[in-house]
Structure 1
C-alpha cells in the first residue's frame, strides 16, 4: 500500500494554504499566515481531526535576510533539500498554464502527534523533467516575482491541488481555503459538477450550491495588498482553457479577477480571525455573512522548554488540554520567575553568539518582532529618542526582529531607521535588531523578553498570534487594542493597552502621537516601576497572561470551533 493510501480510507477536510510553517528547516512560510497554518495542522493531528493539507514546495524558500553596514536589508536564497524531510509520491497531475501543459508532483510530509493522530501534507512542485524550463521554476520562491508568477502559483495550488487530491483518491468532505490564494479550487469543483463548466452561469444555483456546501473560507487581512486581484488580460493569457472567463467575471467581478470575492461567493462558511476582524470584514464585504473564529497558537510548539518542564510538573496534560493552564496559580511564584529567567538567559546568550552584543539579564527587556510592513509601525517607540532615553536610561533594553518583503522599500527603511537609532542610543539604552527572524529564532526570542510590544495602525491587525505565544510563556502584552488583544486584554491584569479603546476610534489617521504618548506614559509610570519595585505584582501579571490568555487563545480551542461551526454542517 502506498504511503498515502491509508489516509484515503475516510473523508477528510482538505486545508489549502499558500504557505505552511512547520519548522525552520522546512522554509515554506514567510510569517504569521504560514505559521498559523502549521499550528492548525498540528492541533488537528493532536485532536485526531481527519485533515489533509495542500501547499506549495518552495525550493528556495522565502529568503535569508542580511543587513549591510548601512542597515539596509539584503536577501539571498535558502538552500534546503526536500528529500531530507518528505517523500516524493509517484502520482502527478496536470494543469494548463499559458497553453502549456505543466506537470505537478507532490511530496508527502506527515505531521504526527503524541496522541496518535496524523495529518498528511502535500507539498506541490513543478521542478519536473519534461516541463518547460521556465515552468520548472514556478514553485521556487514564496511571494517572489510579480502578478504573473503569483497567478501561476495560485493555479498550481488551487486547480493543481484539487486535481492531485483526486488523482490520489482522497475523499474530501470540505475544502478549507486559508486566505484567497487557493480560491481557484472552486473552479475545479465547478468543473466536476455534472454540467460542463462552459454551460454554467451564476443562476445555475443548484450547481453553485453543490460547490458552496463543500467550501470554507478564512480571510486573514483587512490590508488591501492581502487581497489578490488579477487583470483579465493576464487571466485570459495564463488561465487554463477550461476556465470560462465570462463565468469568472460573473462570480468574481467584471473589472479584475478578485480572489477574495471568488472565495466569498462560493463558500458556505466565511470567517475572520478575531471578533473585531470579523466586524471589519463584514464592513469590507457587505452582503456576506462573516463569522469570527479567533486564531490561536499550537501550545507545545511555542512553549519554551523551561515552561514545558514547569507545566508538565504542575499541570500534567496541559499540552493537549491547554484549558488546564487556567490553574496556573497552583505554580509557586518563584518557579514562574526562575523559569522565565532561564528562558531570558538562553535568549541573551543567543544574541551574544549571533551579534557579539551583551545585554543585561537584570534590565527590563522589550521585544518587537513582526514583518516589517509600514502599518505595523516598528519604529514608533523611537520617534522621540530624548524622551525614551530620559524614561529608560539603564532601565530598558530592546530586541527587534522581522523581515521586509524584498520589494517593500518602505518596510526596509523602517528596519534601517531602527538599526541607525540603535547606534544613536548605544550606551544609554541598548537595542539589537536580529537578522533572519524565523520560527527557530522566534522560539528563543518570544519567551526570552519581559514585555511583548505591538503597535500597528488600527484596524489592520486582523489577529496577530505572536502576542499569544508571548502570553503562553508568561510574557505580558503591551499592545494597541486591535486583533486578538481586544479579547485578551484586561488593563494591568493580563498586560497593557496602547491608545484608545476600539469604540473611540472612528479613523486611524493622526493617531500616532497619541499612541506614542501613551507608550511613554505607561512605561514611565506603570510598567518600569512594577518591574523593578514590585516583583510579586509583576509575576501576578505573568500568571494572568498564562491563565487568562494562553488557556483560551490556542489552536486546540480554535480547531474545535472550526469543527462545530464550519466542518460538520
Structure 2
C-alpha cells in the first residue's frame, strides 16, 4: 500500500535523474481512457510523463481531474459539431485519502487527490486534484468540472486549484521537490503558496522553472487583477505587495509575466519559439534567460513498431503491406463515422489537430475550383480527412469545422471526423500519406502532431514554423511551403501566398512523386521516420529538461 503521507516515486530512480521535480500542467494526455486533455499541451505533457517513467526520473505530475473532461465531440442531426459534457468515472485511479482545504473567493474549498500509479499506463506518477466532494457547495464542486471553463471566474478558480492547490498537495505528500516546473503559466498562483513556505521571492526563484508555449503576447492569459485578488489568487498577499513582487502595472494580471519573474530559468518549445520569446519579452525587466527545449513525442506510445522493424530490416514489401493495412483499418473508423469508405491505394491527405483560426484548417478549400480539380482527378486520385476539436466557445473555429462538414457531403473522398482524441489521432496518422499542417507563420510555438505522423509512415507537408524548422529537408524527409514575407504582408496576402504555394507543391511535387516515383516516395517516408526518432523523441526532451532546466 502506497504511503501518500510520505510519498516517494515507487521505482528505482536513475542516479542521473535523482533531483526531485514536480511538474504542473493543466492537462495530461496519458492514454485514451483518461480524458483530461484538450490538445497539444496535453499531448506534450503526456509524452513527458511517459519518458520520465522510461528514464526512471524522480518526477511526479500535478494536474486536475476534470469530471466532464474537455468535452465530448458529437454531432447534430445534420452532422455538424455538437459539444457535449458527460461525467467520467475511472476505476483505475486510486484515492489517496488526502483531503485539504484552500480558500477560493473567501470560501474554504475541500480538495481531494487521486493518483494514477506508474504501472497503469507506463507514466511517471500523476496526482490529480478534484473539488467534486459532498463537503463542497455546488459552485465549488464545479471548479474541476470542465477543462478551460469559458466563465472567467471559474477559470481563475481553476488556476488557483492547480497552483496553490498543487503546491499544498506537495506539502501534504511531504514530497518537497527540488524543482517546481510550471508547464505553461496556468499554475503560477503556486508562487504565493511557496512565498509563505520559503519566506522570500529569492528562495522561490531558486526552485521554480517555467515553460512557455505561446509565441504571441496577446495569447498569454491575463485577468483583472482585482478579480484575482477577490478570488484568493494571491493567497492573502495584499495587492500592493503583489504588484511589488510581480512588477505588474495597471488592472491586468499577466500570468506568464508573473511566471517569468518568479522563474530561475525559462524555455520556449522550439528553437524558433525560443528566439521569438526572447524578443517578445525583452522589453520587460526581471526576465530570466529564455532557452529552448524542442517539444517531442514518445516513440513507445506513438510509433508503429512493425513499420520501423520492416524499415530497419529493409523489407519493402512487408513495409508497404503494413502501411496498407494501417490505412485500411483506419478507414473503417472513418467509414463508421461518416459513411465514406476510402481506398488504401489512394494518396491520403490528413489535416487533424486542434481547430484554431491561425492553423487555417480550411485553407486548401478556399480556392474551390483548384481544390475540386485536385480531388476529382481520376488519373491521380486524392482523398482528404479532417478532424480536430475547436474550443467549445470558439464560434469562428466551430463555424469553419461545420463548413467543412457541409463541403464534405458533396464528395465521396472527403471526410470530417469527430471525437478527435488520442486513439483517433493515432489512427489518422497511420492513415495519412501526407500530414498537412499550414499554420500562419510564425504563430506555431512548436506543434507536435507531425512528429507522431512521421512515426507512422506519414510525410509532413507544412508551412515553415515551429519544430518543422529543425526537422525539414524539402523533398528528402518532408515537403515545405515556401515562406511568405509575413512581416510585410497583410493576413489576406499571406493566406493567398500560402494557398498558391500549397497547390504548387501538391500538383508539381507530391502527387507526381506518390504515383510515378515509388522509390523516391519510399525514401522520403523512411527518412522522415528516421529523422523524427533521432531528434524529436521525448526521451531526448525529458533528458534535456534535467540537463538544462533542472540543474542548479
**Structure 1: how far apart are the matches of 2:467 and 2:548?**
19
Alignment of 1:26 with 2:38, yes or no, is no
Deviations 1:394-421, CA, capped at 9 Å, x for gaps? 3111000011111111001111121222
**Structure 2: how far apart are the matches of 1:225 and 1:19?**
21
Out of 386-395 and 466-475, give the one that drifted further. 386-395
1:243 aligned partner:
237
Within-5 A mapping of 1:34-433: 34-70=42-78, 72-82=80-90, 84-112=91-119, 119-194=124-199, 207-224=200-217, 226-239=219-232, 242-250=236-244, 251-255=246-250, 256-286=252-282, 287=284, 288=287, 289-303=289-303, 307-311=304-308, 313=309, 330-393=313-376, 394=378, 395-424=381-410, 426=411, 430-433=413-416
Deviations 1:322-371, CA, capped at 9 Å, x for gaps? xxxxxx55433323222211111111112122222111111100000121
Shift of the alpha carbon at 1:186? Answer: 1.3
**Structure 1: how far apart are the matches of 2:160 and 2:232?**
8
Q: TM-score, normalised by structure 2?
A: 0.92
Shift of the alpha carbon at 1:6? Answer: 5.2
**Structure 2: how far apart are the matches of 1:233 and 1:505?**
36
1:75 and 1:174, CA in 2 relative to 1: closer, same or farther beyond 3 A? Answer: same
Deviations 1:50-87, CA, capped at 9 Å, x for gaps? 001100110111111123345542211133213x1211
Out of 334-343 and 398-407, give the one that drifted further. 334-343
SS in 1 for 2:124: strand
Deviations 1:436-464, CA, capped at 9 Å, x for gaps? 11111111111111100000111111101
1:539 aligned partner:
522
Asked if the contact 2:27–2:63 (Cα under 8 Å) also holds between the matched residues in 1, the reply is: yes
1:549 and 1:278, CA in 2 relative to 1: closer, same or farther beyond 3 A? Answer: same
Asked if the contact 1:8–1:170 (Cα under 8 Å) also holds between the matched residues in 2, the reply is: no
**Structure 1: how far apart are the matches of 2:333 and 2:132?**
37
- Say which of 416, 426, 431 aligns to 1:448: 431
**Structure 2: how far apart are the matches of 1:145 and 1:549?**
36
Deviations 1:20-51, CA, capped at 9 Å, x for gaps? 11112111000010111111000000001100
Within-5 A mapping of 1:425-504: 426=411, 430-500=413-483
Shift of the alpha carbon at 1:132? Answer: 2.0
1:489 and 1:505, CA in 2 relative to 1: closer, same or farther beyond 3 A? Answer: farther
**Structure 2: how far apart are the matches of 1:132 and 1:79?**
18
SS in 1 for 2:136: coil
Asked if the contact 2:459–2:525 (Cα under 8 Å) also holds between the matched residues in 1, the reply is: yes
**Structure 1: how far apart are the matches of 2:265 and 2:277?**
14
1:438 and 1:549, CA in 2 relative to 1: closer, same or farther beyond 3 A? Answer: same
Shift of the alpha carbon at 1:2? Answer: 3.4
Gaps of 5+ in 1: 195-206, 315-327
**Structure 2: how far apart are the matches of 1:401 and 1:414?**
12
SS in 2 for 1:243: coil
**Structure 1: how far apart are the matches of 2:325 and 2:105?**
56
Asked if the contact 1:46–1:113 (Cα under 8 Å) also holds between the matched residues in 2, the reply is: no
**Structure 1: how far apart are the matches of 2:117 and 2:51?**
13
1:506 and 1:340, CA in 2 relative to 1: closer, same or farther beyond 3 A? Answer: farther
**Structure 2: how far apart are the matches of 1:104 and 1:476?**
45
1:71 and 1:498, CA in 2 relative to 1: closer, same or farther beyond 3 A? Answer: farther
**Structure 2: how far apart are the matches of 1:75 and 1:157?**
25
Shift of the alpha carbon at 1:506? Answer: 5.0
**Structure 1: how far apart are the matches of 2:549 and 2:488?**
32
1:317 aligned partner:
none
Deviations 1:204-228, CA, capped at 9 Å, x for gaps? xxx3221111011000112456411
Asked if the contact 2:51–2:123 (Cα under 8 Å) also holds between the matched residues in 1, the reply is: no
Aligned length: 533
Asked if the contact 2:150–2:393 (Cα under 8 Å) also holds between the matched residues in 1, the reply is: no
Asked if the contact 1:222–1:460 (Cα under 8 Å) also holds between the matched residues in 2, the reply is: yes
**Structure 2: how far apart are the matches of 1:261 and 1:147?**
19
Asked if the contact 2:324–2:345 (Cα under 8 Å) also holds between the matched residues in 1, the reply is: no
**Structure 2: how far apart are the matches of 1:354 and 1:73?**
13
